[in-house]
Structure 1
Amino acid sequence: MKQYKTGYTTGVFDLFHIGHLNILKKAKEHCDYLIVGVSTDELVMSYKNKKPVIPLEERIAIVGGIKYVDRVVQQTNRDKFSAWEQLRFDVMFVGDDWKGHQLFNEVERNFNHVGVDIVYFPYTKGVSSTLVKQKITL
């Protein structure tokens, strides 16, 4: 039996790469049921000021086609506590590049009050959608 019943993670998942697969695989190793929030184009524009290369519907289809993923939802805002109120997961999985970030310090405090854990996984070094885009334009 796995440590958690329901897990949750989020991302843009643009130009899907091994780092994306790593976090989904590691998350599923810790929970029976994995929900993945895929950021909408509007949300990405609001905080990255750029539109994803791959359209939302296709990113949802890609993530949903991964064997480690049980359910895909649209992430329309960055409010993780609101997501918990709707989805009632036991744990959230996040890349350790977010550890100590103001956004996740607040999330940790809020989740602590309702018994939700946050598990940080090592960030896959040397790969990101930004790096993939840079290599394509070289």
Structure 2
Amino acid sequence: MKKIGYTTGVFDLFHIGHLNVLKRAKLECDYLIVGVSTDELCMEAKNKKPIIPFQERMEIVEAIKFVDEVVPQVNYDKEEAWNNLKFDKMFVGDDWKGTDKWNKIEEDFKKLNVEIHYFSYTAHTSSTKLREILEKI
């Protein structure tokens, strides 16, 4: 049976950390769906508009050979995403592991036979660090 994987992100200022997450996720599933956060969701959640517009971020992620499908992420409701996409595995950065929010999501998804797979965060490169450098220029 085909294993469907799902991960999400802003993917602003696309960098090697983003590529590594997508590459590693694809190794764990047969079909990888990636949710790209809308500009509105970023503003609502982080009060920051991405530097790269939503449509361009979607195109960048679609061009990655490890990605089979790209969908807009309009909210953080993971159960709603599962209802729409029916994935078997969800990939998340390990900076969320052990948090109350993700412990609850793990518990809820266990009932749906969805495995949460945590990947280590790329500490040396992040869009936040790149943004800080750009703002100094």
TM-score, normalised via structure 1 length: 0.94
Partner of residue 118, structure 1: 116
Partner of residue 75, structure 1: 73
Q: Secondary structure at the match of 1:120?
A: strand
The amino acid of 1:110's aligned partner reads D
CA distance in 2, matches of 1:56, 1:83: 19
Q: Secondary structure at the match of 1:31?
A: coil
CA distance in 2, matches of 1:36, 1:92: 10
Partner of residue 8, structure 1: 6
Paired residue total: 136
Give the superposed CA RMSD.
1.3
The amino acid of 2:42's aligned partner reads V
Structure 1 residue 91, shift from structure 2 partner: 0.3
Describe how 1:28-107 pairs up with structure 2 within 5 A. 28-107=26-105
**Structure 1 segments of 4+ aligned residues over 4 angstroms from their partners:** none
Structure 1 residue 103, shift from structure 2 partner: 2.5
Q: Secondary structure at the match of 1:7?
A: strand
- Is there any run of 5+ residues in structure 2 with no aligned partner, and where? none
The amino acid of 1:105's aligned partner reads N
- Is there any run of 5+ residues in structure 1 with no aligned partner, and where? none
Q: Secondary structure at the match of 2:25?
A: helix
CA distance in 1, matches of 2:104, 2:45: 17
CA distance in 2, matches of 1:133, 1:75: 22
Partner of residue 109, structure 1: 107
Structure 1 residue 108, shift from structure 2 partner: 0.7
Structure 1 residue 137, shift from structure 2 partner: 2.7
Structure 1 residue 106, shift from structure 2 partner: 1.9
Structure 1 residue 105, shift from structure 2 partner: 1.8
TM-score, normalised via structure 2 length: 0.95
